[in-house]
Structure 1
Amino acid sequence: MSIYSPGDSVSSVKGVGPALEEKLHRLGIYTVGDLLRHFPRNYLDFSKQIKIKDLRDKTPGSFLATVNNPKTFYSASGKLITQSVAQDSSGKITLTWFNNPYIKRLIKDGASYSIAGKPSFFGKGLTLISPMIEEGDSFTLNTRGLVPVYPQTEGINSRWLRKKIYELLQNIDLHDPVDAITLDERALLPLQQALYRIHFPTENKERWSADKRLAYNEHLRINIQNRLEMDKLGHSLPVKIIAKIDIKTSHLLPFTLTSDQLKTIHHLEKDLKSGEFTHRLIQGETGSGKTAPLFFAANQALASGYSGAILAPTEILATQHFHTFLKYSLFPKQVKLVTSSNKVSLTTEPTLFIGTHAILSQLPSNLNPPLAFVAIDEQHKFGVAQREILMNRSPLPHLFNLSATPIPRTVALGLLGDISISNIHHKPNLRIPVKTFVITPTKYKNSPKWLISEMEKGNQIFVVCPNISEHIHDVSSVEKMTSEYRRFLPKKYPIWTIHGKLTPETQQQILFQFKNTPGSVLISTSLIEVGIDIPTANIMVIHSAERFGLAQLHQLRGRVGRGKEQGYCFLVPTNDDEIETERLQLLQKYHNGMVLAQKDLRLRGAGQIYGEKQHGSLQTRLKYFWSKKLFLKAKSDALNLILQNRQKAQKIASGLVSW
């Protein structure tokens, strides 16, 4: 009998109260379906149980043994310790639990148990600390076979997740959106069987067959939605590419174009010429010259009698772009700045509009001449809804995204072939990579002496917080950090604050003062993420770093180390959440924006392909999600379904979302 449905709130699961529900929300789990889709990140291989004598220090192992009655005592520090001895025909090992008085009730003296854990040296010899233990003759979830290890958070561990997911699978009857004929042709498991095997495989073969089926679901859904969306969007304007325009544009440039820039210009002009809508990502590190190819695209569009639009996340960056394009445009009188404080007057002349999100409200959907392209600089700063408003035009403008660290959804579509990618690998000035450290708030409190010593040398410090004021408990704010830094820094060191509520003129004035004051601190929101170049600022401290995406953190880190000196970036999370700490540590290891975006994609997911949510929806932890071969098979199946019956195809796609 089915008790649960995929759409039921996770609070309906037995044993999940308000406190646990809130913790599950941290993992992106809101419904029963979300919990079933919370796939393992890896597995502990306990498929072969060993003897006690074969256990090794710090190597996970599983064995069958009899256990004697546990004894409890207190350590010198007052910690409750419970210990028991497990024994098999080869030897003995001590089992130890800290502050767990309930374990005594679970163990029967002399009974046989299946036990698993990672041995380590504690006291006089090898011991298992907080081992998993289950009755030896019962069905086991934690100590035998391939045991799933899940992304977890404080208060929700893998043992709890195993138990709840197993209970759900015993009490749910899932409708499979994919018909039996397709499953047979593609050699795929039924949905419910695949779910059971991904969570509780008895061998690797079962795990991979389940992985393949669940990845196929993702690919089929992506392709149906993508095709239906593309059919709705329609065609783009064909732009006539004139060789003389490129030659004249090149003569305006004070630098020689790199081979990557020349390739990207060719890509953009091919897109513009085709008349078929193109979504292209131009990826390159800060200062690599991502903007240069747009000079050519803009001049070609204006020469053909069409308009173009370039969006920047802040007025500061929009203004910088405006002045840059004025210099390199063949039609400077047709370049206009559009911001909330600078309204644009529309004419029938082809125009290059450069601005902030104010462009969305100031340019009508029936603009004349229409837009040949829309370029979005630092795409992660714009929401899905904002991009869709801009793209809701006929004819449809080409979409060019510029980013050092593209959002995970774009990376996913690029890797699977549904977004074109142009890479600009050239790095500016051979800068020294910024040294990055993830440190706890406690450790950071010991850093003032070092910070002061750096400021004595004239170095400047950026301090970044997610909020202006403290409206979320424990999350750092500009106001809170300003008080804290004023408390521990000597008064001779100036502290400036900047955020989005200040007028653009005030922001510019503060940045000018900071730039020209050696040994000073600027405390800010993520406003300084783009368009700021202060070579003497070599230290970046980001508080509540887990509140930022990797794209933002990589951009913020790019604000320091822009001169000749070594740059430092300190990521200070609010707490020790395992998932977030692992994500932040990626910045310690990698300095390439595209690599970081791909790692973030595998760790956090790509979000909805068409919708508001940008994280956690696509199952990128699945190995077969990255199979181009499976993706192309699903693409073929999606096209056939749409040709046969569009409404049925849409229903299948919806079913693949809601199971």
Structure 2
Amino acid sequence: MKGRPELLFPLFAGLETLEGVGPKTAGLLGQLGIETPRDLLFSLPYAVVDRRRRDTIKGADLPTTLTVQVTVGAHQPPRNRGGAYRILVSDAAADFQLVFFHARAEYLNRVLPQGADRVVSGKLELFDGMAQMVHPDHMLPVADAAEIPEFEPVYRLTQGVTQKTMFKAVQSALARLPDLAEWIDPQQLEREAWPAWSRAMRAAHAPKGLDDLGQTAPMRARLAYDELMAHQLTLALARRRERRARGIISVGTGDLQRRVLQTLPYRPTGAQSRAIEEIAADMAAPDRMNRLLQGDVGSGKTLVAFLALLVAVEAGGQGVMMAPTEILARQHLHGLRPLAEQAGVVLEILTGRDKGAERKAKLAALAQGRIQVLVGTHAVFQPDVAFHDLRLAIVDEQHRFGVRQRMELAEKGGGADVLVMTATPIPRSLALAQYGDMDVSVLDEKPPGRLPVKTAVVSTERIEEVIDHLRRAIDEGRQCYWVCPLVEESESVDLTAAQDRFQRLRAALGDGVVGLVHGQMPPAEKDAAMAAFETGNTKVLVATTVIEVGVNVPNASIMVIERAEIFGLAQLHQLRGRVGRGSAASTCLLMYQPPLSEGGRRRLEVLRETEDGFVIAETDLSMRGAGDVIGTAQSGLPRFQIADLERQAGLMAVAQSDARALLAVDPDLTSDRGRAARVLLWLMRQDRAIRLISVG
């Protein structure tokens, strides 16, 4: 794969090679992210104007764009400066006016001489009972009227670029379309009745009506599929390379797992048992595991993770579990310690806080294999951290961890299996886009005994009632989280909001009852505040969203979220999942500041109606769009120009299985279809994939 195939050169030339595009226009198009003819072709029209010729404007439903042949009548120059220049015209059955502002009389007399026949096309509207067309888009002699397209595509523009310029440039780019060999599976093409690539591209730029602009239009669906296919091929190549990096075979005996399961007060759910089987099978295989464990709030991921770590220990190795923050790492330690004691396994924690002799001793024990399971933050990445025999690395909360860190972590174990856990239910299409290189296990059942959380929506105007309700709950021995909003991006403002709320609640509920935790606190103070709440010394914990993930206080049964309308759906769902972990019935109060926007109201209603994280995630996706749901900037989500992740999830799934199937039979992409797929990767600028093939 030396470089870009020559066939594609014309599509990757400079924009100035196109008709009507000079240096200035090329610069303006650059602002739209259009740098080559290829980019122009992938910027499909978003609307279409019907310019088919009519005999008369009579009976037309105004305002509308129409094209008609007229005879030019009298010119009426403006009476005063800045007025309108009017020209009367008549078609076969009606009269109307053409109107021009800042017009030059000499120009109009030349283009529209009185008595001549012309074809005009533009937007016709009624003004004071008179039909008029202001600045027609086209005014041509009848002989040249064929230049007006019957259907004119409408493109997104930037200041200084007109539809005409865009149309001309696109036509010029279409003229150099190469005929490319087919990379789509022949049966798939036939089943969907999709056109070949160049035909699809031409048709997409020549829509004949609204139906041709929809995602289901055959040419559009095909071009969307090409983007998804290139993306999934890239992920599949990365996955193949990952798996080919020799994994370690870890076969568990089941002894330690049995010990833990026997002491549990309940039996694992079907979903938990299934996930464990999938993970154990991956660990026993020679390929390196790269699996995503996706579980909703409270679906029991911790148990699955720990049983997986025990497989590594049973096989004579070590396991590590990493969390994005120290609070979460300590939470994991808390959750795992009783299980580790049942299994008789040595468990330790390593964070940035470990210093000096203590750190040295831990590192020595780790390198000698005396620590069997390590919990930690990214401090685990530091060069002086060496394992005796690392078999499994578990990463918690994936979206704060890029693909690069996943690889670094796996390097520590020279082929250790990798399991990524996320508590954010991700809609299927996004999971495929973001984690298409991974295999997925889903925990979609709640363990027995988890009570549903009652969710209510109240206005901030009723805050006094809410505080009274709290007072009664505290008297009954219950505990409460009170989450303050992130008002601005600035932490100082959030801080004052949280501190004000803390003082007001302390004044209302009494000293020593209310604790405070926020992002600016020194770690030791944060831990102290959390510990006081966990042991029940404080009854109310006022917090910014520090507590969003992983915090576990079974006695806390009330969650108040202030300004809930400004939080995202997924975040609200995560926060609500912090209660309902004990035996008491739990409540979540979503407080909003009226008036509510339409979107805000819909979000709060969805939460009131369902506790199913996957339903919530799908709603979130349809309301906000893919980039927002996981924050495109740090998510590594690809930006597609034609494909739509929200509405074409089905196509994404087909593309994934197709890409994997192609590589299974043609791993080096050397068959005819394989070579066509290489061209697709170049066309879609998937340089990463191309590097993977050339080194692979």
Same fold? TM cut 0.5: yes
- 3-state secondary structure, aligned to 2:394: strand
Q: What residue is the counterpart of 2:511 in the other structure?
A: none
Q: What residue is the counterpart of 2:305 in the other structure?
A: 294
Whichever residue aligns with residue 361 of structure 1, its letter is Q
Identity of aligned residues (%): 19
Q: Deviations over 1:525-551 (max 9, x none)?
A: x53321335533322436975xx7x75
Q: Deviations over 1:177-216 (max 9, x none)?
A: 9942657955765656544544552254794224214413
1:55 and 1:32 mapped to 2: Cα distance? 38
Say yes or no: does 1:369 pair with 2:389.
yes
Q: What residue is the counterpart of 1:643 in the other structure?
A: 668
1:507 and 1:655 mapped to 2: Cα distance? 50
1:490 and 1:612 mapped to 2: Cα distance? 34
User: Do the aligned partners of 1:33 and 1:658 also contact (CA within 8 Å) in 2?
Assistant: no
Q: What residue is the counterpart of 1:658 in the other structure?
A: 685
Question: What is the number of residues matched between the two proteins?
Answer: 592
Whichever residue aligns with residue 341 of structure 1, its letter is R
Query: Quick one: structure 1 residues 416 and 222, their matched pair in 2 at CA, closer, same or farther if it must change by over 3 Å?
Result: closer
Query: Quick one: structure 1 residues 17 and 212, their matched pair in 2 at CA, closer, same or farther if it must change by over 3 Å?
Result: closer
User: Do the aligned partners of 1:465 and 1:543 also contact (CA within 8 Å) in 2?
Assistant: no
Q: 1:234 aligns with which of 245, 258, 272?
A: 245
Q: What residue is the counterpart of 1:211 in the other structure?
A: 221
User: Do the aligned partners of 1:378 and 1:401 also contact (CA within 8 Å) in 2?
Assistant: yes
1:132 and 1:448 mapped to 2: Cα distance? 53
- 3-state secondary structure, aligned to 1:297: helix
User: Do the aligned partners of 1:178 and 1:652 also contact (CA within 8 Å) in 2?
Assistant: no
Q: 1:291: how far off?
A: 1.8
- 3-state secondary structure, aligned to 1:291: helix
2:264 and 2:135 mapped to 1: Cα distance? 67
User: Do the aligned partners of 1:249 and 1:295 also contact (CA within 8 Å) in 2?
Assistant: no
Q: Deviations over 1:243-293 (max 9, x none)?
A: 444432211212232222222222222222233333322222211212222
Across the aligned residues of Structure 1 and Structure 2, the Cα RMSD in angstroms comes to 6.1
Q: What residue is the counterpart of 1:443 in the other structure?
A: none
- 3-state secondary structure, aligned to 1:337: strand
Q: What residue is the counterpart of 2:348 in the other structure?
A: 336
Query: Quick one: structure 1 residues 172 and 490, their matched pair in 2 at CA, closer, same or farther if it must change by over 3 Å?
Result: same
Query: Quick one: structure 1 residues 238 and 411, their matched pair in 2 at CA, closer, same or farther if it must change by over 3 Å?
Result: same
1:174 and 1:363 mapped to 2: Cα distance? 60
- 3-state secondary structure, aligned to 2:451: helix
1:422 and 1:395 mapped to 2: Cα distance? 24
1:568 and 1:266 mapped to 2: Cα distance? 39
1:527 and 1:340 mapped to 2: Cα distance? 18
Say yes or no: does 1:277 pair with 2:305.
no
Q: 1:430 aligns with which of 452, 463, 483?
A: 452
Query: More deviation in 534-543 or 279-288?
Result: 534-543
User: Do the aligned partners of 1:212 and 1:624 also contact (CA within 8 Å) in 2?
Assistant: no
1:198 and 1:448 mapped to 2: Cα distance? 51
User: Do the aligned partners of 2:351 and 2:377 also contact (CA within 8 Å) in 1?
Assistant: yes
Q: 1:584: how far off?
A: 11
After the TM superposition, which residues 517-532 of structure 1 pair with which residues of structure 2 at under 5 Å, given as runs? 521-522=542-543, 524=544, 526-532=545-551
1:4 and 1:176 mapped to 2: Cα distance? 7
1:196 and 1:102 mapped to 2: Cα distance? 38
Q: 1:478: how far off?
A: 2.3
1:54 and 1:39 mapped to 2: Cα distance? 29
Query: Quick one: structure 1 residues 535 and 644, their matched pair in 2 at CA, closer, same or farther if it must change by over 3 Å?
Result: closer
- 3-state secondary structure, aligned to 1:432: strand
Q: What residue is the counterpart of 2:693 in the other structure?
A: none
Query: Quick one: structure 1 residues 644 and 296, their matched pair in 2 at CA, closer, same or farther if it must change by over 3 Å?
Result: closer
2:231 and 2:637 mapped to 1: Cα distance? 16
Query: More deviation in 557-566 or 313-322?
Result: 557-566
Say yes or no: does 1:537 pair with 2:563.
no
Query: Quick one: structure 1 residues 295 and 510, their matched pair in 2 at CA, closer, same or farther if it must change by over 3 Å?
Result: closer
Whichever residue aligns with residue 268 of structure 1, its letter is I
1:357 and 1:655 mapped to 2: Cα distance? 36
Say yes or no: does 1:402 pair with 2:422.
yes
Q: 1:568 aligns with which of 590, 605, 619?
A: 590
Q: 1:505: how far off?
A: 1.8
Query: Quick one: structure 1 residues 208 and 61, their matched pair in 2 at CA, closer, same or farther if it must change by over 3 Å?
Result: farther
Say yes or no: does 1:384 pair with 2:409.
no
2:138 and 2:525 mapped to 1: Cα distance? 68
- 3-state secondary structure, aligned to 1:353: strand
Say yes or no: does 1:626 pair with 2:663.
no
Q: 1:170: how far off?
A: 3.7
Q: 2:492 aligns with which of 461, 479, 484?
A: 479
1:583 and 1:30 mapped to 2: Cα distance? 38
Say yes or no: does 1:326 pair with 2:349.
no
Q: Deviations over 1:480-528 (max 9, x none)?
A: 24456878x7963459875545332222334567897778853x3x533
Q: 1:336: how far off?
A: 1.6
1:426 and 1:254 mapped to 2: Cα distance? 15
Q: Deviations over 1:378-401 (max 9, x none)?
A: 211222322221123422414343
1:216 and 1:287 mapped to 2: Cα distance? 38
2:662 and 2:677 mapped to 1: Cα distance? 13
User: Do the aligned partners of 1:338 and 1:359 also contact (CA within 8 Å) in 2?
Assistant: yes
Q: What residue is the counterpart of 2:322 in the other structure?
A: 311
2:153 and 2:280 mapped to 1: Cα distance? 52
1:410 and 1:632 mapped to 2: Cα distance? 15
- 3-state secondary structure, aligned to 1:394: coil
Query: What is the TM-score when the length of structure 1 is the normalising length?
Result: 0.67
Query: Quick one: structure 1 residues 538 and 501, their matched pair in 2 at CA, closer, same or farther if it must change by over 3 Å?
Result: closer
User: Do the aligned partners of 2:291 and 2:420 also contact (CA within 8 Å) in 1?
Assistant: yes
Query: Which runs of 5 or more structure 2 residues have no equivalent in the other structure?
Result: 1-8, 77-88, 113-117, 140-144, 471-479, 507-513, 687-696
Q: 1:327: how far off?
A: 1.1
Q: 1:571: how far off?
A: 10
Q: What residue is the counterpart of 2:376 in the other structure?
A: 355
1:425 and 1:148 mapped to 2: Cα distance? 48
Query: Which runs of 5 or more structure 1 residues have no equivalent in the other structure?
Result: 71-85, 94-100, 437-446, 467-474
Whichever residue aligns with residue 294 of structure 1, its letter is A
Query: Quick one: structure 1 residues 213 and 653, their matched pair in 2 at CA, closer, same or farther if it must change by over 3 Å?
Result: closer
- 3-state secondary structure, aligned to 2:504: coil
- 3-state secondary structure, aligned to 2:442: strand
Q: Deviations over 1:225-258 (max 9, x none)?
A: 5235523542322222334444322112122322
User: Do the aligned partners of 1:317 and 1:530 also contact (CA within 8 Å) in 2?
Assistant: yes
1:87 and 1:292 mapped to 2: Cα distance? 81
Query: Quick one: structure 1 residues 228 and 463, their matched pair in 2 at CA, closer, same or farther if it must change by over 3 Å?
Result: closer
User: Do the aligned partners of 1:411 and 1:597 also contact (CA within 8 Å) in 2?
Assistant: no
Say yes or no: does 1:454 pair with 2:466.
yes
Q: Deviations over 1:109-158 (max 9, x none)?
A: 99954549xx9xx9999x99xx99855978789xx8596798xxxx979x
Query: More deviation in 338-347 or 172-181?
Result: 172-181
2:464 and 2:58 mapped to 1: Cα distance? 54
Say yes or no: does 1:180 pair with 2:212.
no
Query: More deviation in 160-169 or 393-402?
Result: 160-169
Q: 1:377: how far off?
A: 2.0
